[in-house]
Structure 1
Amino acid sequence: MTPQKKTVVLGASENPSRYSYLAVNKLLAHQHPVVAIGKKEGNINTTPIINNLPALTDIDTVTVYLNPIHQKAYYDYILSLHPKRIIFNPGAENDELATLAVNNGIEPVEACTLVLLSTGQY
């Protein structure tokens, strides 16, 4: 069994047609603990979507589903989590945040979380 990787899904949505919604479900199906952070509170099945920025520890991955313009408000928060990596899903690619990540010892990855999970590369 692969080790659990505590993941923050940034840009989580209750909309079942959104990739962030699918990612939360697929991460849970692969037994990774998830913290879903979105613009509006709600739920993805039994996982609450929170709209605040809680202090978290032991974060392996932040997977981003926000376009670069909306990411700026989260830069300090993302870096404060000290994740091992930040996954920039398609449409979320951001050279500025990727550079900040590298400068803080965080690996930036341009990939699709859903594909990584499906192919066993997560």
Structure 2
Amino acid sequence: MFAYLPSLQHGWLPAWMLLVSVTSFGNSLQCFLSGRKVSARVYNGKPTEVTELASRFFAAWTTASAFIRLYAAYHITNGPIYDLAWWSYVIALGHYVSEVFVFGSATLRGPAAAPYVVATKSLLWMTLQRANYLG
């Protein structure tokens, strides 16, 4: 089983990216299967605004992000892939920040706090370690 995991030769960031990807795939599946129920927990500021269509769109975006980050976990020293993964976190954080502070559809408590923590931690880690991975 360890043969399928990203090499730790480059540090723990690839393992983190794999964990985030696997979690994201699971979240996407939940959103596809549960209608608006799971997405409404994330957009807990205005859960009645979450539609089944919005939930499926959220699942599609999360799936795309999961594939980008999964690929980055295994190709962490590839500059364009690294940058693409970094931008995926920028977009996610920008979206959630706007939903909290501009649109009021999310809050920073409960399940809604996870995307902020993951995106912020990942962005900081990737920014600080960029030179180590890309030389």
Q: Same fold (TM over 0.5)?
A: no
Query: Which structure has the highest strand share of the two?
Result: 1
TM-score by length of 1: 0.27
TM-score scaled by structure 2? 0.26
For the pair shown, the structure with the greater C-alpha radius of gyration is 2
